[in-house]
Amino acid sequence: MAPFQYIDRPSPFNTAAGTTLPIFAVTPAHIDQQAIDPIALDWARKAGFKAEPGAVLLIPSSEGHLGGALLGLGSNPSEAPFITGKLARALPSGQWHVETAPLTADRLALGYGLGAYRFDRYKPSKSQAPTLMIPADADAADIKRQLAGVFLARDLINMPTNDMGPNALEAAFRALGDHYKANVSVIAGDDLLAQNFPLIHTVGRASAEAPRLLEMRWGKKETARSR
Average pLDDT rounded to a whole number, residues 183-212: 94
Cα–Cα distance measured from residue 169 to residue 33, given in angstroms and rounded to the nearest whole number = 54
Task: Map out the domains of the chain as residue ranges.
Answer: 13-143, 165-223
Q: pLDDT, tens digit, for every residue of 78-120? A: 888 899 999 999 999 999 999 887 888 999 999 999 999 998 8
pTM: 0.84
The alpha-carbon radius of gyration of the chain (Å, integer) is 23
Contact assessment for residue 6 and residue 152, using Cβ atoms and an 8 Å cutoff: yes
Rounded CA-CA distance 31/33 in Å is 5
3 has pLDDT over 80: no
The predicted pLDDT at position 157 comes to: 92
26 forms beta bridges with: 72
Q: Tell me the pLDDT tens digit for each residue of 200-210.
A: 999 999 889 99
Q: Cα(213)–Cα(187) distance, rounded to whole angstroms?
A: 5
Q: What are the strands, taking DSSP E only, across 61-209?
A: 66-72, 95-100, 131-133, 183-188
What CATH class has 13-143? alpha beta
Q: Which of 70-74, 120-124, 172-176, 190-194 has the lowest mean pLDDT?
A: 120-124
- Given a contact cutoff of 8 angstroms between Cβ atoms, the answer to whether 180 and 174 are in contact is no
